[in-house]
Amino acid sequence: MKIEVGYGAGTQTVEVSDANLLGVLAPNAVACELAGVDEVRRALAEPIGTPRLRDIVRSGERVVVISSDITRPVPTAAIMPVLLDELYEAGVDPNDVTLVFALGSHRPHTEEERRRLAGERAWAEIACIDGDPATCVHVGDTAAGTPVDIVEAVAKADRRICLGNIEYHYFAGYSGGAKAIMPGVSTCEAIQANHTKMVDPRACAGNLDDNPVRQDIEEAAALVGCDFLLNVVLDEHKRIVKAVAGDMVQAHRAGCRFLDGLYRVSIPRRADIVIVSQGGAPKDLNLYQTQKALDNAKHAIADGGVVILVGSCKEGLGNATFEEWMTAAERPGDLIERIGRDFKLGGHKAAAIAMVMEHADIYLVSDMDSAFVESLFFTPFASLEEAYEQAVRKMGPDASVLVMPFGGSTLPALDS
C-alpha cells in the first residue's frame, strides 16, 4: 500500500506491504449536518450555557477576540467575518474591537503573517495585534500558586472572546477552551508555573476531569474572565466539521466529546514501527511543534520499536530553551533527570522526547542538517522511504506497522 503523509507544504511517501500494515489511523466516520462557516453560524446561534454573543456585548464596550498564532491551524480568517457580523449586530463599533494573536511562548509574527491569519476583512476593519508579554498585568494567582499575568489589551478589555481549535494535547488533555488565555496571552513565568504540573500522570492526552494542568488553566481564565468561547474541530484536511460556542467550560467539553468520536482511534496492539506526521504545515514548522505528533505516537509503539517522525522543521527547533536543553544533554536520560530538578518551559518538551526515546528509537525525516539531528539523539533521514527501509532492517521483514498521518490529532487507544 502506498502511504502518503504531510510534510511541510508537500508530502512524503512510502510503500508498505499489506501483510505488515496494522492500520492507517484515520478519523472515525462521524455524521456532520453542516461544515465550514455555516457550522460556525449555527454554533453562534445555538450557544451552550450562555445567551447569544449579540445579547452579551454592548455598544461602547472594548472587545478583544483572542485567537491562535501561526503554529496552530485555527481558521481565524474564515471565522472572523461571521464573528464580526454578530458583534456589529449588537452595535459594537469596529474601532472598539481588537484581534489579539496569542503567542504563548512562541515568536512574534511578521505583518504579513498577521494579515494572513486575520483575513482581509478583519485586517481592514479592526486592529490586529500580537499579544505582547512585555505589557502583562497581574490579575491574581490560582490556588496552585500560578501567577495570572495577562497581556494588557486582554486584561483591560470589557469583553473577552476566545477562539481556538480542539485537538488532543499531551498534558493539558485537549487544546482549545481556556488555553487561549493561559498560556495564550500569559507570561513565560506564568506558563512555566502551570506547566510544572505536566509531570503528574493525570496530565495526559484525553483526560480532563482530574487533570491538574487543565484545572489550573481554567482557574486562571476564570480569574481573567472569558465572556464567550468559539472553538472549532477540524478534519484531516483542516476543514471545520464542528463548532461550539458559549460558556468557556461547557462549550469546550461539548467540543471535546465530539473530538473523541472523531479522533480517538482503536488499535489492536502496539506496532513495531509507527510512521507519524503532524500533517504538514503549519504544524511541522519546527521540532517544538512536531513533538506533539511524537507524543501521541508513544501510545502506539511497542517497546524497542521504531517511530519514524516525519516533519519538515524548516525553522529548526523553534524555541531557545528547548534548543539549549536538547543541545546541552549528553544523553536522553540527562533531560529526564533535569526536568525533575529544574523545570523550564521549553525544556519540558525536550524531556517529553527523551521519555519516548527510553522505549523506542526515533528516526527523524526533516529538512534539518543530519549531523545536527544526530546530536539531538534522533537518527536522521532525508526521506520517509529511506527511514522505512532502515526500520525494516532493524525490526525484521515481519515487523508490524501503524501509520498516523495526523499524529497531533489522532489518539491511539488499545482495544479493551
Tens digit of each residue's pLDDT (9 = 90 or more) over 114-172: 999 999 999 999 999 999 989 999 999 999 999 999 999 999 999 999 999 999 998 89
Q: Could you tell me the pLDDT band of residue 350, with boundaries at 50, 70 and 90?
A: very high
Kindly list the structural domains of the chain, giving each domain's residue range(s) and its CATH number in brackets, ordered by start: 2-27+265-414 (3.90.226.30), 57-226 (3.40.50.11440)
Q: Are 362 and 307 in contact (CB under 8 A)?
A: yes
pTM exceeding the 0.75 threshold for the entire prediction? yes
Pairing outcome for strands 240-246 and 228-234: antiparallel
pLDDT at 212 over 90: yes
C-alpha distances in angstroms, 176 versus 168, 183, 194?
Answer: 9, 11, 16
Average pLDDT over residues 392-399: 98
Among the listed residues 351, 378, 375, the one whose alpha carbon sits nearest the alpha carbon of residue 366: 378
Say which range, 42-46, 52-56, 213-217, 318-322, has the weakest mean pLDDT: 318-322
DSSP 211-226: -HHHHHHHHHHHHH--
Residue 197 clears pLDDT 90, i.e. is over it: no
What is the pLDDT, as a whole number, of residue 27? 84
Q: What is the mean pLDDT of the chain?
A: 95
Which of 63-77, 98-112, 385-399 ranks highest by mean pLDDT?
385-399
Task: Among 87-91, 151-155, 282-286, name the one with the lowest average pLDDT.
Answer: 282-286
- Average of per-residue pLDDT across 66-90: 95
pLDDT band for position 416 (cuts 50, 70, 90): low
**pLDDT (tens digit, 9 = 90+) per residue, 178-188?**
999 999 999 98
Instruction: Give backbone dihedrals phi and psi of 188, rounded to 5 degrees, phi first.
Output: -60, -35
Give yes or no for a contact between 208 and 260, defined as CB atoms under 8 angstroms apart: no
Share of the chain above pLDDT 70, in %: 100
Could you tell me if 191 and 104 are in contact, meaning their C-beta atoms sit under 8 angstroms apart? yes
Identify the three-state secondary structure at position 348: helix
Q: How confident is the model at residue 59 (pLDDT cuts 50, 70, 90)?
A: very high
